[in-house]
């Protein structure tokens, strides 16, 4: 299906200014939060007026860069049909971008429209359909694939033909194509094959093999002024001479380019890379070395600029100076425990990446060093509700970061040594953190206290903790033993174990925990969800919710599903993340409201590891096993006292048909919309702190153009607010 870009015209008008991320959209809209550190391809886009932009691709998105280094991003959330980009190419003649994905799907972006070409994706003719390179030849895009050459008509947006670089139509892995004035060259698994070009077309069964280059593992090729070079991993050849023109002593050649300035080659050796120029005497000169580059997979020359795509480090610009061009997003994959509040999102990288990211509407700020000191690997994050300081657990213990000052201090108490894992604050500012194998460490009024379990219980291997509204610490017990609970309010600070035998857990393998607005504990396992709602923990029995419709479930809620995470939104509805996507459930868990997977949404992956909700906007962040995306939902947290109703969009433009959001309301407010004369047009209730209206009356008709008043109040009428909506479309 032809699709319009839903948020902006990407770079085709060549006048866009962006900050490297999509702006927060309306209800139901998505945006990606990819690290964009793996840049794989580069090109130059020009329009008919001669204006140009640098374009490129990361593993998940396409980007464009203006002359002033302003970045715009294009992904699945704003028009593309897929993720995981294999290669791309810009067509100057038609002012369009061709994007090929690793699953062999193809998009052509022209103006504000995206044309999908799914023939290869749906085909079962070949065992591997991977697209390795795109070469443009007049109105044709020649796709080098694992089975041959696919010819794509760039005017009709359809596949025209399939060529096999041999004379027997045998499947042949093709790496790259170039052409001189009258010959097409193909670098294949069977060496170099050529075919004469006649009227910018080839005739079948006229391929010729350059046998001198067989068995040399040639997989790269380039030409300039009808001079052709090809390369293997270690050697460069100038056709038709079979003796190497240049040998690389160490490492592997990633790409070769010849232009008016000479022959260039990028290479890498382990995690070290470089770009060199091959001189006329066949010596080489370093342009950039491993001080900057790790794996330079693509590069281009634009006047005095050299742009380099490094699949490990990002986008590098070299001219009179050398600088990395940030493309937005966190600097690495997020493997740590994320925290969110109304001000920002804190994302520790965890895994093997040091530092953390802070995100707000200004974008992502990556913090790897402070005062020229490298940060350690950070695992978990939380914000002190009293002073706003950011606390992190790390390989160096507890860290305290003060955003206003930009300072980091070591905050681990000297009396308590060991491995700190999960961290959380109570609403009164009490800090809770797990100290591996020792107990729960608590900080209250600057005093530290260690709560240790009885000898019959062990905290070895526990790294997940949740502090509920009752001040109880719920921890996932190690070795499939269920849940360990510490209750400081019980006599003698009671410790309890919750398991399948005594407490009706759906499984002893617990994966997630949270409490909702009613104080009910929701426990996710590898076999569904159990609810706990009682005072005496040790004898409490889990309630197992029943789903009202099957929808893939066998009665019990998420039975046989691995529930990775659960969170309640502002309306107390439940977002649940699994290995098969994410669900939005009613507040009691018995009805399915939404379900998102990578096939019906911009989610990059179906394994949802953590879900977070921005309280003021209702934006839901999904951290998956392959980066992050977010969705603007219909519910926000309630606001007390109500002072001003924030309405979006407002005024309502003639071409807008989406929902109208009214936020900043008291929780579950009664909302009435009237004409200026006082006639009731619509009435609803807020979902948490946000109400939604579709701009229609009760009978489903669009309201007339005009001004409408919004009246909001709580149940008792003690909290009241008034707003105004301007409608410029309708009857």
Q: What is the DSSP string of 149-185?
A: EEEEETTTTEEEEEE-SSSS-----EEEEEE-SSEEE
pLDDT of residue 20: 43
Asked whether the beta carbons of 682 and 675 are under 8 A apart, the reply is no
pLDDT of residue 436: 85
pLDDT of residue 2: 54
pLDDT of residue 100: 97
pLDDT of residue 48: 65
Chunked mean pLDDT (size 10), the chain, 731 residues: 48 38 78 90 82 89 88 89 92 93 96 93 95 95 97 96 91 96 94 88 83 93 95 95 93 94 94 94 93 94 93 93 91 92 94 92 90 92 94 93 92 90 91 90 92 82 88 86 86 83 91 94 94 84 80 72 95 96 93 93 95 94 94 88 85 86 90 92 92 89 91 84 84 51
Write the DSSP symbol of residue 539: T
pLDDT of residue 131: 97
pLDDT of residue 7: 37
* Beta-ladder partners of 317: 307, 323
pLDDT of residue 311: 92
User: C-alpha 269: how far from its chain's center?
Assistant: 29
Domain 646-727 belongs to what topology? Answer: Immunoglobulin-like (2.60.40)
Side-chain-side CA neighbours of 678 within 13 Å: the count stands at 0
pLDDT of residue 14: 36
Percentage of the residues of the chain whose pLDDT score is greater than 70: 95
Asked whether the beta carbons of 707 and 668 are under 8 A apart, the reply is no
The residue assigned the tokens 């948490």 is 688
pLDDT of residue 39: 93
Tokens of 390: 């950011």
Assess whether the region 330-452 and the region 646-727 belong to the same CATH fold: no
Could you give the 3-state DSSP secondary structure of residue 419? coil
Could you give the 3-state DSSP secondary structure of residue 502? helix
Q: Alpha helix (H) ranges present in 221-328?
A: none
pLDDT of residue 549: 61
Asked whether the beta carbons of 572 and 520 are under 8 A apart, the reply is no
Exposure letters 558-586 (e unless 16+ CB within 10 A, then b) = bbebbbbbbbbbbbbbbbbbbeebbbbbe
CA–CA separation, 377 and 211 (whole Å): 53
Domain boundaries, the chain: 225-329, 330-452, 646-727
Domain 330-452 belongs to what topology? Answer: Methylamine Dehydrogenase; Chain H (2.130.10)
Nearest to 682 by CA among 667, 690, 671, 691: 671
């Amino acid at each position: 299906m032809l699709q319009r870009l839903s948020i902006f015209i990407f770079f085709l008008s060549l006048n866009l200014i962006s900050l490297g991320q999509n702006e927060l959209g309306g209800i139901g809209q998505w945006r990606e939060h990819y690290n964009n550190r793996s840049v794989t391809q580069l090109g130059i886009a020009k329009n008919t007026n001669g204006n140009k932009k640098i374009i490129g691709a990361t593993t998940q998105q396409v980007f464009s860069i203006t002359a002033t280094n302003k970045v715009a991003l294009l992904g699945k959330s704003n028009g593309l049909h897929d993720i995981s980009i294999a290669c791309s190419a810009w067509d100057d003649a038609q002012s369009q971008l061709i994007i090929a994905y690793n699953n062999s799907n193809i998009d052509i972006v022209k103006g504000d429209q995206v044309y999908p070409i799914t023939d290869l994706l749906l085909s079962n003719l070949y065992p591997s359909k991977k697209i390795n390179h795109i070469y443009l030849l007049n109105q044709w895009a020649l796709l080098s694939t694992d089975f041959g050459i696919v010819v794509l008509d760039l005017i009709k947006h359809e596949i025209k033909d399939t060529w096999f670089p041999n004379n027997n139509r045998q499947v042949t892995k093709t790496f790259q194509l170039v052409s001189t004035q009258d010959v097409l060259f193909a670098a294949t698994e069977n060496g170099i094959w050529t075919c004469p070009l006649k009227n910018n077309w080839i005739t079948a069964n006229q391929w010729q093999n350059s046998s001198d280059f067989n068995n040399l593992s040639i997989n790269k090729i380039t030409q300039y002024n009808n001079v052709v070079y090809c390369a293997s991993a270690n050697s460069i050849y100038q056709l038709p001479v079979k003796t190497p023109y240049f040998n690389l002593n160490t490492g592997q050649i990633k790409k070769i380019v010849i232009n008016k300035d000479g022959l260039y080659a990028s290479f890498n050796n382990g995690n070290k890379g470089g770009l060199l120029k091959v001189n006329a005497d066949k010596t080489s000169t370093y342009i950039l070395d491993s001080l900057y580059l790790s794996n330079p997979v693509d590069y281009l020359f634009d006047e005095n600029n050299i742009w380099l795509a490094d699949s490990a480090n990002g986008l590098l610009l070299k001219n009179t100076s050398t600088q990395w061009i940030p493309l937005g997003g966190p600097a690495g994959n997020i493997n740590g425990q994320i925290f969110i509040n109304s001000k920002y999102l804190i994302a520790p990288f965890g895994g093997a990446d040091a530092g953390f990211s802070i995100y707000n509407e200004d974008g992502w700020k990556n913090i790897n060093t402070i005062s020229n000191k490298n940060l350690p690997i950070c695992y978990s994050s939380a914000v002190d509700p009293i002073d706003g300081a950011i606390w992190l657990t790390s390989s160096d213990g507890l860290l305290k970061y003060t955003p206003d000052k930009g300072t980091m201090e070591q905050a681990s108490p000297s009396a308590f040594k060991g491995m700190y894992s999960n961290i959380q604050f109570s609403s009164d500012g009490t800090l809770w953190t797990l100290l591996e194998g020792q107990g729960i460490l608590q900080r209250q009024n600057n005093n530290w206290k260690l709560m240790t379990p009885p000898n019959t219980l062990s905290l070895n291997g526990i790294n997940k903790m949740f502090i509920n509204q009752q001040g109880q610490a719920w921890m996932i017990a190690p070795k499939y033993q269920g849940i360990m609970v510490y209750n400081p309010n019980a006599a003698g600070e009671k410790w309890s174990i919750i398991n399948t035998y005594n407490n009706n857990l759906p499984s002893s393998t617990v994966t997630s925990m949270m409490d909702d607005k009613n104080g009910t504990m929701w426990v996710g396992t590898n076999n569904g969800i159990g609810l706990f709602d009682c005072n005496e923990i040790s004898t409490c029995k889990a309630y197992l919710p029943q789903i009202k419709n099957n929808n893939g479930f066998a009665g019990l809620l998420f039975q046989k599903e691995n529930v990775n995470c659960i969170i309640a939104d502002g309306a107390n509805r439940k977002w649940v993340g699994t290995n098969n996507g994410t669900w939005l459930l009613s507040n009691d868990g018995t009805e399915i409201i939404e379900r998102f997977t990578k096939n019906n949404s911009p989610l990059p992956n179906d394994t949802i590891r953590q879900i977070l909700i921005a309280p003021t906007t209702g934006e839901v962040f999904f951290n998956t096993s392959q980066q992050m995306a977010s969705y603007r939902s219909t519910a926000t947290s309630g606001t007390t006292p109500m002072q001003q109703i924030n309405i979006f969009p407002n005024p309502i433009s003639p071409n807008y048909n989406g929902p109208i959001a009214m936020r900043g309301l008291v929780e579950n407010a009664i909302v009435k919309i009237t004409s200026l004369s006082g006639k009731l047009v619509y009435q609803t209730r807020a979902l948490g702190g946000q109400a939604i209206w579709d701009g229609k009356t009760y009978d489903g008709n669009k309201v007339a153009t005009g001004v409408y008043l919004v009246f909001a109040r709580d149940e008792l009428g003690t909290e009241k607010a008034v707003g105004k909506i301007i409608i410029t479309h309708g009857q």
